[in-house]
Structure 1
Amino acid sequence: MKRRILCITDLDGTFVKNSVNVNSDDLQAYHQLCSFSDFSVATGRSVEEIHYIAQKNKIDLTHLIGFNGALVESNGNTIFSQPLTGRDVHRILNYLKEEQLIFDALDGQSRIGNFVHEHTDHLWNMELICLDNPFESLKEKTIYKFNVRPTKEVSGAYFQQLRVTFPHLEIFKAGDTRIEITAKGVSKGHGVELVKTDYDLVIAFGDSGNDISMFQETDISYCISSAPKYVQEKATYVSDSFYKAVQHLIGILIQERDISEFKH
C-alpha cells in the first residue's frame, strides 16, 4: 500500500518569488505534487493572505497554517487559534515605543503599525494601516503576530535583545530586516504537528528561520539555497528552487515505489 503523503510549503522566498507571484515552473511542480499528495501552506502571513494567493493561482489547500502557526485551518475549519495575550501585547508595544522601532501588528484582517510598505503589491489584498501613533489603538486589539523591522545593521542585536526581554514568547528572525513575535508554543512546527497525524509521510519546503521548527516535524525537508546557512543545515536537502526540490522528491518517491506509476 502506498503511503499517504502531505507536502507543506512556506510562501515568500520558497513558493512565491519576490512576494508577488508563483512562477510557472513552481506552479507546474505544485500540480505534480497534487497527483500523489495533499498540499498545504505554512507561513508568517495571515490566513486571509493564504486564501488570496491560493485563489489567484487556483491552488487547492488541505491545511492552512498562518501567523507562523498561531491560526490553523484544516479542511475549511479552524482547529487552532492562539493570539498573543493582552498583557504581552501591551508589553511589546511599550518596548517598541521605547526603542522607536518600526513595526506592524497582524490582527487577521489588516496590518497596523508605523510601517510604510514600499511595495503595496506584496500585501496580497491586505490593508496596511500606517499611523503616527499606533500604540494606544493596538492595545485593545486581538493580535496574532508582530513584525518588528529594524535596519539590517542592528537586526541581529535586536533579535537577541527581544529573546532576552520576552523569553516566554516565540521570536523568529525572518530575513535581514524582520523579526516575528508570536505567543509561546506557536510555531510552524506546532501547526504541522496538529495536521500531520493522518499521513504516513510529510515533506516540508522552506527558506527562513521560522521554517526550522517545520523541518523538525517532517520526514523530509527541503531548504531553498538562498536561505541563511544555519537554516540550510537544519533541512534534509538544499535545493535551488521549489521546482527542483519537487523533482528531487519525485525521484526519491519513485525509487521507494510510492509513486511508481507517476509520469513527470
Structure 2
Amino acid sequence: MKKYKLIVFDIDGTLLPFGVESLSAKTKKMVHELKEKGYVVVFATGREFVTIGTLLDDIPVDYFIGANGAFIYDLNKKEVVFENKIILSEFQTLSNFLEKFNCEYSVMTDKWGYFSDGHDLDTWFLSPHKENFKNLCELTCDEEPLHLVTIRANDKSFKNTVQEFIDKNNLNMEINAQWSKGFFIGPKNTNKATGLKKLYKFTKITLDEMIAFGDSSNDVEMLSEVGYSVALAGGWSYLKTIAKDVTTKTVEEDGVYYKLKELGIL
C-alpha cells in the first residue's frame, strides 16, 4: 500500500458505537500504535468542545476537527489553529424564524451549548454534558464563536423549509449534514474535507496522503476527497458506494482496528 502520512477518523458510528460513552481498549491501543509508527492522527467529527467530553483524554491524537469542519484544535499546542464561525446576528435571524415552528434546536460555542425552550437534554448524546448547557435566553454577544446549530425535526421536509429561509435571507450558513432525528447547520462551504484542506498549513500533508474512516452523511466529502477512504460495515449504505473500501466488522466489533490490521498499517 502507498505510504500514507495521516489517518483521520470520524467518531460516532465509526470509532464509538451509538449510546457508548468511551472508546474501546482496542481503539485506544490503535491510536497509540499509529503514533508509534509516525502517523499524524486526526479525529474529525460533528462533536464540538462541549460534547467531545473526555474522548480525547489519554490518547495521542494530534488534531481535533470539530463541528463538521468549523474549527481545528491542535492538541499538542492546546489551541485553536483554525476557525470558521456562524455570525451571531445571523444565528439570531435563524433563531427568530425557528421559534415560529414547534422544533427543538441548539447552538454550540467553544464553552457552552444553548438550547431552545422544551429541548430534551435527557438523551444518550447530551445527558453526559447537561451541566454545559444553558437556555438560549442566556446567549449574549460575548459568547462567540458559534460553531454548529443542531435542529431536531421529525418532518423531513422541514430541512428544505429551513434551507430556503437561509438562502432567501443570504445567511452565511448551510445545512451540512443530516441525522436520524434532524440536521446540522454550519458556516457555508464548511465540512470535514475543507477542514482537512486547512490542516495542510500545519502538516504539509495533502488529501491524497490521507486515509479516512467514516459512517454517515457528514463524512461524504471527506471520504470522497482523501487518498484512501473506508466506510464502516453497518454504516450509511450510500457512503459505501463512494468509499474505496469497507470494513468487514462493525463499529461494535472494532471494525476500524481490524481494517488497519488488514491493510498492514498496524
What TM-score do the two structures reach when normalised by structure 1? 0.81
| Cα shift at 1:48 | 5.3
Q: Provide the C-alpha distance between the structure 2 equivalents of 1:103 and 1:19, rounded to a whole number of angstroms.
A: 23
- Change in Cα spacing, 1:139 to 1:229, as seen in structure 2 (3 Å) is farther
CA contact (8 A) 1:33 1:246 kept: no
Cα deviation 1:90-109 (Å, max 9, x = unaligned): 12101210112101110111
Aligned to 1:66: 66
1:235–1:43 distance in 2 versus 1, CA, 3 Å: same
Relative distance call for 1:51 and 1:63 in structure 2 (3 A) is farther
CA distance in structure 2 between the partners assigned to 1:22 and 1:124 by the alignment:
15
1:191 aligns with 2:199: no
Q: TM-score, normalised by structure 2?
A: 0.80
Please provide the CA RMSD for this pair: 2.6
Unpaired runs of at least 5, structure 1: none
Residue 173 of structure 2 is matched in structure 1 by: 169
Give 1:145's aligned residue: 148
In the alignment, is the contact (CA less than 8 A) between 1:203 and 1:218 conserved in 2?
Answer: yes
Q: Deviations over 1:23-57 (max 9, x none)?
A: 233333333433332211111111354472111xx
Alpha carbons 1:19, 1:122 under 8 Å: kept? no
For residue 22 of structure 2, what is the aligned residue in structure 1? 21
Partner of 1:92: 94
Partner in structure 2 of residue 219 of structure 1:
227
Structure 1 window deviating more from structure 2 (165-174 vs 79-88): it is 165-174
**Structure 2 residues not aligned, in runs of 5+:** none
**3-state SS of 1:39 partner:** strand
Per-residue Cα deviation, 1:165-212 (whole angstroms, up to 9, x for no partner): 224523133321131111112211111111245236201111121111
Within 2, Cα distance between the matches of 1:144 and 1:120? 21
SS at match of 2:16: coil
User: 8 Å contact 2:50–2:113 — kept in the other structure?
Assistant: no
2:166 partner amino acid: F
Residue type of the alignment partner of 2:30 = A
Task: Select the residue among 199, 206, 210 that pairs with 1:202.
Answer: 210
Number of aligned residues? 246
What letter matches 2:176 in structure 1?
A: F
What is the aligned partner in structure 2 of residue 233 from structure 1? Answer: 241
Q: Secondary structure at the match of 1:199?
A: coil
Report sequence identity in percent. Answer: 20
Q: Return the alpha-carbon distance in structure 2 between the equivalents of residues 96 and 121 of structure 1.
A: 22
